[in-house]
């Protein structure tokens, strides 16, 4: 399945490439109409008119990863700028039509894109390489012709570029640390609400959710039911096969119960060998039918190896005046009735 963020980035990149191709064609036509064109500018425009449609097609057909396309675009822009700089500084005959001032204004954009399109560290490495390229191209001119018209302007461009790269790295580093901090907070919240063994919601999270649903029921009348699940004779499983098999049984039960439930149902580990299901917008009879089906599904085939286990379920639905304690107490009483009635069954305490 395609990542929505990658799809959006692909659309944006295709739009930029299309606009770049159109603007290049329009600029070339305008230069020709004004008589300002030259062989060098024609070559630059021609290369751009080839590059943009080719990269558009590659992006559209997904022939290369987006990261590779991004780097190709940056390298193309850097190559064009460095070539134009070299021609203007060292070959006045061919570079006479190239104005360095507008060209130098575009160079900082390359550094911004390098950090925007790539990662934190890779943006710095790529920017420094591009910066080294521009310095290498202009260095002989600065050493031999420092007093020439473009000497001071070129030095200022390099100084501004260095400050820009440092600033971009600082802000990128800050953003990177902020993202890591957010991931840490999210991970801590997830761990606080997740059972380590089964990776289901833990008792704390289920309890908070039940309280929230009780508020919704009181305000809007949204009914819900709960199923309290207990593995029959689980102690015998641990005693006979060991706690490792017992843990595997808990994990396997969590997986099988998840398969049998709806996406909107919340399955959690209540503690020990007990599980709980919170079924939103579900009445008592529907929940009882689901619990009976769940008992049959668990007992039908072994959970771990050749060892078959069964479960007992207690079912209840919310009613007016309920608290979390009263609701869970009814579910526990129904579970006790299922155990007392022979296990491998579901019993309910119907709301009145």
User: What is the separation of C-alpha 269 from the centre of its chain, rounded to a whole number of angstroms?
Assistant: 27
Compute the Cα dihedral for 58, 63, 64, 65 and give only its sign: positive
Q: What is the dihedral of CA 156, 158, 164, 169, to 10 degrees?
A: -150
Q: How far apart are the first and last CA of the chain?
A: 46
Whether residue 273 lies in the annotated active site: yes
201: DSSP letter:
B
Q: Which of 32, 213, 259, 273 is catalytic?
A: 273
Other C-beta atoms closer than 10 Å to the C-beta of 329 total 14
Q: What is the C-alpha to C-alpha distance for residues 184 and 190, in angstroms, rounded to an integer? A: 10
CA angle 234/236/240 to nearest 5° reads 125
279: left (phi over 0), alpha (psi -120 to 50) or beta: beta
Closest CA to 317 of 214, 229, 231: 214
Q: What is the C-alpha to C-alpha distance for residues 349 and 326, in angstroms, rounded to an integer? A: 12
Closest CA to 51 of 80, 30, 27, 31: 80
Pairing of strands 346-349, 311-317: parallel
Q: Which residues are catalytic?
A: 273
């Amino acid at each position: 399945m395609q990542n929505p963020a990658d799809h959006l980035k692909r659309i944006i990149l295709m739009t930029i490439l299309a606009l770049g191709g159109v603007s290049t064609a329009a600029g070339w036509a305008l230069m020709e109409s004004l008589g300002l064109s030259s062989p060098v500018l024609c070559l630059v425009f021609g290369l751009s008119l080839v590059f943009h449609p080719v990269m558009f097609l590659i992006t559209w057909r997904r022939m290369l990863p987006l990261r590779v396309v991004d780097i190709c675009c940056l390298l193309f822009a850097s190559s064009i700028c460095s070539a134009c700089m070299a021609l203007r500084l060292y070959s006045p005959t061919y570079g006479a039509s190239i104005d360095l001032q507008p060209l130098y204004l575009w160079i900082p954009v390359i550094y911004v894109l390098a950090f925007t399109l790539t990662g934190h560290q890779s943006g710095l490495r790529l920017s420094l390489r591009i910066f080294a390229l521009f310095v290498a191209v202009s260095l002989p001119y600065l050493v031999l012709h420092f007093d020439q018209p473009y000497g001071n302007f070129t030095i200022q461009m390099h100084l501004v570029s260095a400050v820009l790269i440092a600033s971009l790295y600082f802000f990128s580093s800050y953003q990177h640390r902020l993202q890591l901090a957010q991931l840490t907070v999210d991970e801590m919240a997830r761990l606080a609400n997740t059972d380590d063994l089964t990776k289901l919601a833990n008792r704390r999270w289920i309890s908070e959710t039940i309280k929230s649903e009780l508020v919704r029921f009181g305000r809007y009348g949204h009914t819900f039911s709960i199923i309290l699940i207990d593995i029959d004779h689980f102690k015998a499983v641990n005693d006979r096969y060991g706690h490792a098999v017992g843990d595997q049984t808990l994990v396997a039960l969590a997986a099988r119960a998840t398969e049998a439930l709806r996406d909107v149902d919340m399955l959690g580990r209540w503690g020990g060998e007990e599980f709980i299901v919170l079924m939103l917008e579900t009445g008592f009879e529907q929940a009882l039918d689901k619990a009976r089906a769940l008992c049959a599904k668990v007992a039908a085939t072994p959970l771990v190896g050749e060892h078959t286990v069964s479960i007992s379920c207690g079912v209840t639905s919310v009613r007016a005046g309920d608290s979390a304690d009263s609701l869970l107490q009814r579910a526990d009483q129904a579970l006790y009735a299922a155990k007392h009635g022979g296990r491998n069954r579901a019993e309910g305490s119907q709301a009145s």
